[in-house]
Amino acid sequence: MGVHVLSIAFGVPAVLALSLSRDRPTLGFTTDRSNRKQLFHRLYPPLRATTEHNQALFWPASSLIAESIHSDAFNDDTLDDDEKLLTSTLDSVVKVYATHSEPDFLIPWQKKHQTTSTSSGFVLDVPGVGYRVMTNAHSVEYGSVVQVQRRGDDEKHAAVVEAVGNECDLALLRVDSLFASSDASSRGNGKTYALPLGPLPPLQDEVEVLGYPAGGDSLCVTKGVVSRIEMQEYAQAGARLLSMQIDAAINPGNSGGPVVNENLEVVGVAFQGLDEESIENVGYVVPSSVVLHFLEDVRKYKKYKGFCHLGIDVCFLENEAFRKFLKLGGDHGNTVNGSGGGSEKKSKRSTGVMVRRVQPTSGANGILRSMDVVLAVDGIPLGNDGKVPFRRGERVDLGCYVTSLFEGDIVRLTVWRDGQEIEVSFPVSPIKSLVPSHFNNKPPPYLICSGFVFTALSVPYLEAKGAWSDYYTDNISYLLSLVNEPLKQDGDEVVVLAQVLAHRANLGYENLYDVHLLKFDGVEVRSLGHLQELISQSSGPFMTFEFAPKDGGHERSITVVKFNFDGDLLFTGSKDHTPSVWRSENGERLGTFNGHKGTVWDLDCCRFTKRVVTASADATAKLWNCETGECIKTFTHHGPVRGAAWADGSNMFATISDPFVEHNAQISVYDVPENDDPSTYSDSPRLEIELPKIDGKRVNATNIVWLNLNEALFVTFDNGSIRLYDPVTGEELEEFFPHEKKINRVSFNQDKTLFITSSADFTAKLYDVVDLKHLKTYKTDRPVNDAVISETKDHILLGGGQEAMSVTTTSGKVGKFETRFFHLVYEEEFGTVKGHFGPINALAINPNGRCYASGAEDGYIRLHYFDKSYLDMKDPVPEGPIDGEEEFDEDDEEEKNNDEGSDDESE
């Protein structure tokens, strides 16, 4: 179920200011029969024969109730006068007032603020049920108070919602005070008669919409013609049913009003309009055939049962090669070899649809198979486009016929299977969804255990989370993918952890939300009720909840995120052993590089994104083909590989490995041939640099980067130092100590003239690459895990947070896992961006400067796009030194020379 194109013509809230329509509707009826006929003149004669045939074909079960409703319409001899007939028709249209008390699907034990609406309805006489008011389901959804008011009456009558069909957006109201007797006596106008139901009108037939839309209080009549009749999605519940489109506007308040033909018969019920500003006067109507099906359910079962489906997902066969593959021949003369002796078989028919999947809970389960081709349903031939004949010159989706059947009806299918035609049959039934589109006006279920709030996933829950908006979280993206999943067995639900209420038992889990619960204590959870049973039966000292892995992230914490040179791809590494590549435009995962057996600490790709090198705790560095995802070569090291860096414009890369057993930390430089043939690669590096002990202690390198023109290897260490090495000789060129504690990450701007270090000492420091001059310091109240330099702004982005092992304490820094924005020159923090519920381990800014990526301990990668206000923001220009500091001017060579040799303490 995608984004709704259709918007419900819902009743207008009483508190809103209304604007009048541009066209003032006029009453289209006159007291003269000939004039009325002329007013409703058809552009061509009705297709009486085909209409009668199609009624018998598509709605056989509705004929009895249709005849009963129609024949009882105008039995009273007093209604010979056209004026009384017209007056009684208009008097049958009522205004519906509703007060809605909708539950809060995010806080399921609460209700939202009440809202009010007005809509329309009309009187029907349902055989075996009595006089009822019909309106739309959405008009009375979660209605705590429902009232109806007749035309010209000052009294509002209390109504009871007796039956609701959300799929067809219809509802029946019982109004005892309005229909005190079986003849529905009225005030002042003699009798109020139930409106009769008429047949489906032909295209271009003129119709009129009666109701109480926005723009006034009195009854409104608008005129239009029937534009098309086809299957459409009903916005109320997302079901696809037959719908009639007319060119009369259906505005808020028209919902539930009757649409009548020239004989004053109801041919449909207004229910929704087209949500397009550029398109006017397009309205959608629930046709009389769907209304009859709804009423037949109520008559037979005293409640709405639903519309049936075959329970299969199909694939159209409009491709000729596909039809040949499935051994379809027939009219097109395509022949296929049979299974024996070179004999040939032809299918009698050449059109149909292929079964892609059978719903486990449908009657077709065990009868139809994947790859079956359905040729006909109850003798009705099926086209390659999934449509069947409807009326002369018209075709509709197969669902039009299937939804006309009732629960338990037997359907007979002609199927092409394994080169031969067979007949199968099974009962049809309404298909329930794994993720329901509604709760039938009941509050959503929920269960609270130790502060964990569980609920059943539903479309209203996803809507409340903004699932069909332009922006939604990765968790919601995963839950959204379950909407079209089949129901494996009746009663199954998707149990979701909606939120966590603070409690001493759930410390450290406060930020879990919107995650799918798979198992409890190792047992698969089928539904919310099943979870309650499992919890009540649990007797161990601990309760274990197992959730589904997240979409849009890794299963474990993120270690590195990097954009390629062009910024269209994002590469990520994680403790789940699987580096991945994503499309930076929309966050789509393009693939994973499978093969490591340990944490992937670092990665880097070459200039043209043809190859990527990864560094892992499994003591290997692997070279991958970016296009195929294949591992070209594995390079074994003595210890865990901490970092990897690709040389600029050259076929070589460097790695750093941790000390292990008797081996010290080591830098390795490898040559990379142009081809992907592993036999042409050397297992040994062309250069190895062993990092000696300092004061008798082994050192651990944390990052490695090539400087411009590959003139030096830039390496950071856990003792707060930085060293530069000659990539040819291995000689140490320089060493300095920017920090007192571990340097977690180092990042450069795109032209590598500036670099910034991130440290566990709660600071990030900006340096000039040429002379290694310290320029700025950005101070925080917690460890800084990564920092990046904006390519388009004088801004610095910092990420970090409290150590992962301490996030369950009551420290004031708990939960501060946002990206922090600092001004590059002023060193002042001016903004934060939240989103993660764990320390941010890695940051990367897109080379185009329009977005950045963050990866955290929570296992999520988030792509943040800067809005227009940020991109257009102008930073103030300082007039002089700030807070007594020297004014920085990187073009002032004299100042650089004077300051050469200054250390951090002079800052």
Residue 7 appears among annotated catalytic residues: no
Determine contact, residues 390/323, Cβ cutoff 8 Å. no
DSSP 644-700: EEEPTTSSEEEEEE--BTTBPPEEEEEE--SS--GGGS-SS-SEEEE---BTTB---
Catalytic-role residue among 100, 139, 157, 169: 169
Type of residue at 115: T
Catalytic-role residue among 138, 516, 596, 739: 138
Catalytic-role residue among 243, 255, 458, 854: 255
Secondary structure letter of residue 504 according to DSSP: G
**Cα torsion at 183, 187, 191, 196 (round to 10°)?**
-90
Phi then psi for 322, rounded to 5 degrees?
Answer: -65, -40
Nearest to 780 by CA among 810, 813, 748: 813
Residue 255 appears among annotated catalytic residues: yes
CA distance 190 to 179: 13
Residue 726, classed as helix, strand or coil, is coil
DSSP 834-897: ---SS-EEEEEE-TTSSEEEEEETTSBEEEEEPPHHHHH--PPPPSS-STTPPPP-TT-HHHHH
Which tokens sit at 451?
A: 């502060």
Calculate the alpha carbon distances from 362 to 197, 433, 493, 865 in Å. 32, 11, 17, 44
Give the strand order in the sheet containing 829-833: 784-789, 795-800, 819-823, 829-833
In this structure, the chain runs to a length of 907
CA distance 592 to 324: 36
User: Residue by residue, what is the 3-state secondary structure of 58-77?
Assistant: HCHHHHHHHHHHHHCCCCCH
- In DSSP terms, 722 is beta-bridged to 716, 736
Residue 125 appears among annotated catalytic residues: no
Determine contact, residues 691/664, Cβ cutoff 8 Å. yes
| Ramachandran area for residue 463 (φ above 0: left; ψ -120 to 50: alpha; else beta) | alpha
Q: Which residue reads 């332009």 in tokens?
A: 470
- Active-site positions read 138, 169, 255
